[in-house]
Structure 1
């Protein structure tokens, strides 16, 4: 019998007798992300859906006994902390975290600094606040305060502006490998806005706010879902996005329990809906962008990447109708000449030509389209490119890059590297056919496969749903490029996309050892 593996995630928090938040919400969220939840209860609360009536911390002896029992049999892949009761409890937890890291290596720690209940009941005195600041926050991989909690932890006045939130996140980032997410759950407005500051990405995560009075436990669930995603190996930025997707669905499925606010209800399948993907942008409220034009032919087929106009001419003569011109380290005049010639050749052949990186020259020379990496987005004049009618292709390797691309509304996305490649130095691990199939099914725009592709695997990439299959060396290093192109085109035409398989629960991690990139070992 094939027994599925579930990473173990500890939640160290208070128990909510009403079942809406605390340990109870944590365990539901951890389960929704296919992890096994183990709990260390720091305090018992007498509460219902309307108020917290009593809080009683467990004894230090009982706290240590729970940690010891779990450590002996169920060591964690990730830990989430919530309400910690008092400063003495916090110090015991810090000692256990250091002990576990010495015994089992670095593991992600997600700190949800629960300083008060949503009903207003305070859970933190000055001693606990100082213990957070001095001992627990510096040890965390991810911090998830709301705006009120963030201001209190950072010693700042209330955060009224977007700039205040961004400055507070920088102040709370104790070391460069740490991730800070200041959530907007305690705010109002039509958009649910969280500010992300991480080693991989930074900016505002936006989703339409779910119109429901039942949001109890959303903060606990968010932090626990991050811990679960980290336990699966996702880097911090992707873990945050997956958690936001999970809570979005949880809010949509929330329900009434009692006469007050009911709980969110997280469940599997949250990452299978494109509407749950948040937009990631540097501004909390970015200016609307004109969508880039659709491709003349969305069936891109064989997509050959070459480095000269001579190669453009050669592959066009061989029948290729999707080409990318990628030239590095040439003078501006040489680049202009190569681009101008390539644009003329492609137009005469009725081909779709994309100029890599050099968007200004592509614009000036009337190119059909450009292909940009995510690192180029800050420099490129995207509104000008869209207004001129150029098509735009964007590289994407992760959830956070997809979320950054979607508000731009490109003409296509490139997913990769699908297989290991030496054509370009990059930190990404091979995404595999699993991720390619996931993105091809999830997204409504064309997705091309790139990275490590050749005659042995292009059919599989096409069957996974790729609108185009991008190759470099398989053509340019072939002894007979024309014959190779014929074989590749035949393989692509023969292989039809097989979209009958179920959509994966989510994409696999995009970086090797993803969660350790945001851990302080």
Structure 2
């Protein structure tokens, strides 16, 4: 299940999540938190869904269909986060129960705000302690911890600081780490570090990369993989999706999991 915002351009948000879910062999359910007005050039506005409606979507799915793993994306406001947290508690989602991946989406790749400032505290205080895994990019790390990640040492320091906020595991993504030929991600479970490295894909079309990574991790958890295995699968998935990215509109095109359709040997 994805609990996130809708991208009218189809490259990120629940649209990206559902594409990855389908192509990794899981049925995707949704709870829509916001409707964004966006295209390849950026976000020009969004409308929040009423918190009680977001919570009702979660309840409707979990009480009938059930879920094996859940991810969150754009959560928009503190009121929505609080409603989601209560719905997750009622459904047994998070930490000791159903795996929960929290992608702490605060802004679009163009820098457009997708989370009101007052919601950041609710995100860290309500969602992080419930999370099996959180997957911030470096801009989100800076917002949450004040740490500017510039190398391996500061990446480890940021992972420790984020882990103190309560999640079982933290993945500090290195895709925005400039001046590196590789994209280094760092997983920390409170005791051990594990690094995932991939050659940086030279493309301007990377819209939805973070959503796709989190969705692939969630799908792998739904298939019963451990967190380190799920992250390894997702790292390869998003790298191949970046390689298959395509231009769309006048701005940044989306990463594409559609490579899977022409690679039957990887099914």
- Is TM (by shorter chain) over 0.5? yes
Contact in 2 for aligned 1:201/1:237 (Cα 8 Å): no
Structure 1 residues 200, 265: closer, same or farther in 2, change over 3 A?
Answer: farther
Equivalent residues in 2 for 1:70-149, closer than 5 Å: 70-101=61-92, 106-149=97-140
Q: Are 1:162 and 2:155 matched, yes or no?
A: no
Determine the C-alpha separation between the residues in 1 that align with 2:155 and 2:163: 12
Number of equivalenced pairs: 263
Q: Are 1:246 and 2:243 matched, yes or no?
A: no
Determine the C-alpha separation between the residues in 1 that align with 2:265 and 2:38: 40
Determine the C-alpha separation between the residues in 2 that align with 1:159 and 1:17: 32
Determine the C-alpha separation between the residues in 1 that align with 2:48 and 2:167: 33
Q: 1:176 Cα shift?
A: 8.7
Determine the C-alpha separation between the residues in 2 that align with 1:171 and 1:165: 10
Instruction: Say which one has the larger Rg.
Output: 1
Structure 1 residues 132, 176: closer, same or farther in 2, change over 3 A?
Answer: closer
**CA shift digits 1:64-99 (9 cap, x unpaired):** 332232123221111100000100000111111111
Q: Are 1:47 and 2:6 matched, yes or no?
A: no
Q: Which has the higher contact order (CA 8 A, sep 6+)?
A: 2
Q: Secondary structure of the equivalent of 2:47?
A: strand
Q: Secondary structure of the equivalent of 2:2?
A: strand
Question: Could you tell me which of 178, 191, 194 is aligned with 2:168?
Answer: 178
Q: Report the counterpart of residue 59 of structure 1 in structure 2.
A: 50
RMSD (Å) for aligned C-alpha atoms: 2.1
Determine the C-alpha separation between the residues in 2 that align with 1:167 and 1:11: 29
**CA shift digits 1:210-240 (9 cap, x unpaired):** 1111110000010011111011110000100
Q: Report the counterpart of residue 246 of structure 2 in structure 1.
A: 255
Q: Report the counterpart of residue 12 of structure 1 in structure 2.
A: 3
Q: Secondary structure of the equivalent of 1:110?
A: strand
Contact in 1 for aligned 2:129/2:166 (Cα 8 Å): no
Q: 1:161 Cα shift?
A: 2.8
> If the length of structure 2 is used for normalisation, what is the TM-score?
0.92
Q: 1:504 Cα shift?
A: 6.4
**CA shift digits 1:24-68 (9 cap, x unpaired):** 001111112111111111000100000101111011232133223
> If the length of structure 1 is used for normalisation, what is the TM-score?
0.48
Q: Report the counterpart of residue 298 of structure 1 in structure 2.
A: none
Contact in 2 for aligned 1:42/1:84 (Cα 8 Å): yes
Structure 1 gaps, min length 5? 1-9, 273-501, 506-521
Contact in 2 for aligned 1:185/1:219 (Cα 8 Å): no
Determine the C-alpha separation between the residues in 1 that align with 2:7 and 2:161: 31
Q: 1:267 Cα shift?
A: 4.0
Question: Could you tell me which of 199, 217, 221 is aligned with 2:208?
Answer: 217
Question: Could you tell me which of 222, 239, 248 is aligned with 1:231?
Answer: 222
Contact in 2 for aligned 1:42/1:89 (Cα 8 Å): yes
Contact in 2 for aligned 1:110/1:142 (Cα 8 Å): yes
